[in-house]
A and B are shown apart, each in its own frame.
Chain A
Amino acid sequence: MTILLVFAYILLILIGAFLLYMAFKTDDRRYIYAAVAFYVIFPVIVTLKLPITTSPEVKQLYDAVEALPDSSTVMLTFDYYPSTLAETEPMSHAALHHLFRKDCKVITMTTIPLGGPSIAERVTRKLAEEYNKVYGIDFVNLGYKANYVAVLKGMGTSIETIYPTDNSGTRLSEIPMMENIENYSDIDFIFVVADNSIVDYWISIVNAQYNNPVGTGVTAVMAPRYFAYISSGQMTGMLGGMKGAAEYETLLNKPAAANMGMTSQSLVHLFIIFSVIAGNIIFLTSKKGRDGKRT
């Protein structure tokens, strides 16, 4: 098996090098596309489980949710577009596994008009079925309301004024779970899963003014920005991209889509590093590179 693996990796490197060489020779970027496609598809077919180490930010978030008393009320947000489902949906899945396992009451909502309510409905119902959770008693989907700044601020005083009904039109006063929940002071933790800068407003409006602990799962594009909030204590942990989701899945002992994607991620990263180095070697050794001219 080890010999086969070594042979497979040598083959992978040779294929990558060949495609890069063809891309350079013919100046056709489709060879690079082919290489990327190959490095993504190959590990999906020939699966290889890689050990996932946990970063401190993910552990912090996991510990914070784990420390919540069972039956706590948690607000889980679906602040992401369908375009980033591959990164953010595994985070939502993992969060719901964690929250339902602890019998937490989950209030879901979204500030994203394009798809947010539908994604929240689909993902929550699917996981709720797995844990035999009942809508209206164990979880509620508030849906979407326009102007996220007003929504975030308004829920600090009265959730019912901003959301007179849930996503399906049932009045909040008729939902048993929402009977004793008036505003943020009745919510123990806010788990924001987002792919845009809405996280900044959850921190600056909700955490700063109402002191609710806020943990986040964000796409890898957003993640570097939020180290500043973790360092200042305004954010309680962060899942950064698919790797963050994979780490959270590992901590929960529920490896799923994110874990499966790590091998593909590894190979493509190595290929891109290789292509950057190769591109720079060609540039520096070429006449234009030596003259300091742009290619």
Chain B
Amino acid sequence: MKTTVPVIAAFLSGFVMLLAFFFNPETSFLGRLEPEVLSWVTIVGGFTLLLGVVSIIRVNYSSVKRKSSGWGYKLATLVSIFAMAIPAIFPVRWSSLFGTGTGSIYDWLFNYIDSPMMSTMFAMLAFYIASAAFRAFRARNAEATLLLITATLVMLWRVPMGEALLQGIHGNLPNLINTYIMNGANMAVQRGIIIGAALGAAAMSLRIMLGIERTYMGK
């Protein structure tokens, strides 16, 4: 019962989508049912995102309560969550600082603290990739050498100075790289990966709908 009902729900939910694909959305009942079912899915999906928020609050709260190592930072996390969330849920008519619109506390904290932090965290990867390129990128065998040579050509091709250098070697070299490397070998490999992954996804989808795959339900 605890597993059978969800399996049936998964099948019915997916089967409606499958059937709706073949029916006219404007005239058939199934076609009109489809967007309604999808809007239900988006609502349930929204609550799933809240799961993560509740989880992070629980974990950090228990650390603060136990005063474990670094609890001060965990307290800062909790304060940040509530500083962002609480003004957002108050109605805008009380004050323009509330809600999620332009000029609200929520909007300000995102644009002037959260967003630059996220940008900076990823910007740091530039240093790590340069360090990795010098310390770890080695032509140990023929395949690695081929990878290295291709990477070098592409890195040159993608910047104006490098493109000028390549044109100096041979006028048509940038076009040849675009045609035979990017639109040739690279495109072929990506196509193979897309086809393989899509077949795998379709097979997995069939397994989920038929109830063979149940790992998403947990223990």
Please report whether the interface of chain A is mostly helix, strand, loop or mixed according to DSSP.
helix
Task: Let me know if B191 and A228 touch, CB within 8 A.
Answer: yes
State A82–B31 Cα separation when bound (angstroms): 37
Which of A97-105, A173-181, A268-276 is near enough to bind chain B? Answer: A268-276
State A208–B179 Cα separation when bound (angstroms): 26
State A82–B123 Cα separation when bound (angstroms): 11
Task: Let me know if B35 and A154 touch, CB within 8 A.
Answer: yes
Is residue A151 within 8 Å, beta carbon to beta carbon, of the partner chain? yes
B110: which A residues are within 8 A, CB to CB?
115, 118
Q: What 0/1 pattern do residues 144 to 172 of B give for CB contact below 8 A with A?
A: 00001001100110111111000000000
From B31, B102, B130, A268 is in contact (CB under 8 Å) with B130
Is residue B122 within 8 Å, beta carbon to beta carbon, of the partner chain? yes
Task: Let me know if A85 and B115 touch, CB within 8 A.
Answer: yes
Task: Let me know if A118 and B111 touch, CB within 8 A.
Answer: yes
Task: Let me know if B183 and A295 touch, CB within 8 A.
Answer: no
State A51–B159 Cα separation when bound (angstroms): 10
From A113, A228, A243, A270, B190 is in contact (CB under 8 Å) with A228
Between B36, B41, B129, B148, the greatest number of chain A beta carbons within 10 A of the residue's beta carbon is seen for B41
State A250–B45 Cα separation when bound (angstroms): 41
Task: Let me know if B41 and A150 touch, CB within 8 A.
Answer: yes
Shortest Cβ distance from B115 into chain A, in angstroms? Answer: 4
Task: Let me know if A20 and B134 touch, CB within 8 A.
Answer: yes
Task: Let me know if A161 and B148 touch, CB within 8 A.
Answer: no
State A294–B121 Cα separation when bound (angstroms): 31
Task: Let me know if B38 and A153 touch, CB within 8 A.
Answer: yes
Task: Let me know if B49 and A113 touch, CB within 8 A.
Answer: yes
Interface residues of A in 151-209 (CB under 8 A from B): 151, 153-154, 156-158, 161-162, 168, 200, 204, 209
State A204–B195 Cα separation when bound (angstroms): 12
State A278–B190 Cα separation when bound (angstroms): 31
Task: Let me know if A81 and B118 touch, CB within 8 A.
Answer: yes
From A82, A118, A279, B135 is in contact (CB under 8 Å) with A279
Task: Let me know if B118 and A115 touch, CB within 8 A.
Answer: yes
Task: Let me know if A270 and B162 touch, CB within 8 A.
Answer: yes
Task: Let me know if A269 and B158 touch, CB within 8 A.
Answer: yes
Is residue A267 within 8 Å, beta carbon to beta carbon, of the partner chain? yes
Q: Determine the interface band of chain B, counting residues with CB < 8 A from chain A.
A: 35 or more
From B48, B49, B161, B183, A267 is in contact (CB under 8 Å) with B161
With both beta carbons as reference points, the residue of chain A lying nearest to B134 in the complex is identified as A275
Is residue B94 within 8 Å, beta carbon to beta carbon, of the partner chain? no
Is residue B178 within 8 Å, beta carbon to beta carbon, of the partner chain? yes
Is residue B65 within 8 Å, beta carbon to beta carbon, of the partner chain? no
State A29–B134 Cα separation when bound (angstroms): 9
With both beta carbons as reference points, the residue of chain B lying nearest to A121 in the complex is identified as B102
Task: Let me know if A262 and B159 touch, CB within 8 A.
Answer: yes
Is residue A83 within 8 Å, beta carbon to beta carbon, of the partner chain? yes
Shortest Cβ distance from B29 into chain A, in angstroms? Answer: 13
A52: which B residues are within 8 A, CB to CB?
160
B152: which A residues are within 8 A, CB to CB?
273, 276
Is residue A84 within 8 Å, beta carbon to beta carbon, of the partner chain? yes
Shortest Cβ distance from B178 into chain A, in angstroms? Answer: 6
State A206–B44 Cα separation when bound (angstroms): 22
State A288–B102 Cα separation when bound (angstroms): 60
Give 8 A-B contacts (CB < 8 Å), ordered by A residue: A114-B118, A154-B39, A228-B191, A231-B187, A269-B159, A271-B130, A278-B134, A280-B148
B contacts, CB < 8 Å to A: 17, 21, 25, 31-32, 34-36, 38-39, 41-46, 48-49, 100-102, 107, 110-111, 114-116, 118-119, 121-123, 126-127, 129-131, 133-135, 137-140, 148, 151-152, 155-156, 158-163, 174, 178, 182-183, 186-187, 190-191, 193-194, 198
Q: A82-B116, A228-B187 are in contact. List 19 more A-B contacts (CB 8 A).
A: A82-B118, A82-B119, A83-B118, A84-B119, A118-B107, A118-B111, A125-B102, A146-B45, A147-B44, A151-B38, A153-B34, A162-B38, A162-B42, A204-B198, A220-B158, A225-B193, A262-B159, A280-B137, A283-B138
A contacts, CB < 8 Å to B: 20, 23, 29, 32-33, 35-37, 40, 50-53, 55-56, 81-86, 113-115, 117-119, 121-122, 125, 145-147, 150-151, 153-154, 156-158, 161-162, 168, 200, 204, 209, 220, 224-228, 230-232, 241, 243, 262-263, 265-273, 275-276, 278-280, 283-284, 292, 294-295
The 6 closest A-B pairs by CB, nearest first: A147-B45, A146-B45, A154-B38, A266-B161, A50-B160, A82-B115
